[in-house]
């Protein structure tokens, strides 16, 4: 099966996410996501990114953009980048 990847740079715009030690989560999420996007493209893997600039996206719009990228099928992988401020336990989420 040939997979397609959708990258979600968490937070953005009016939602900065966590911050500490001079790091703002939305900015680091965007840098990581843009790097991943460029790398997947270099490898020839079909990839879309939800936001490539610092913009506010509502939760509904975020989901709409994910679904608009490649649809909702078993060959689509969604990666949502978030950087925790610390003190939290490791967790992961996935959408079926």
What's the confidence (pLDDT) of residue 87? 61
The full set of domains in the chain, from first to last, is 4-81 (3.40.630.40)
Mean pLDDT of the chain: 91
Q: pTM above 0.75?
A: yes
pLDDT band, residue 5 (cuts 50/70/90): very high
Q: Mean pLDDT, to the nearest integer, of 48-64? A: 96
What's the confidence (pLDDT) of residue 84? 78
Cα distance between residue 40 and residue 38, in whole Å? 6
What's the confidence (pLDDT) of residue 24? 94
Cα distance between residue 58 and residue 15, in whole Å? 10
Cα distance between residue 93 and residue 96, in whole Å? 10
pLDDT band, residue 20 (cuts 50/70/90): confident
């Amino acid at each position: 099966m040939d997979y397609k990847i959708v990258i979600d740079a968490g937070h953005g715009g009016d939602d900065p996410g966590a911050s500490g030690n001079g790091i703002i989560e939305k900015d680091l999420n965007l840098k990581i996501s843009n790097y991943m996007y460029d790398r997947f493209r270099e490898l020839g893997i079909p990839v879309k990114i939800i936001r490539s600039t610092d913009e506010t996206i509502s939760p509904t719009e975020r989901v709409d953009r994910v679904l608009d990228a490649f649809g909702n099928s078993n060959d689509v992988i969604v990666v949502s980048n978030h950087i925790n401020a610390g003190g939290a336990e490791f967790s992961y989420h996935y959408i079926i």
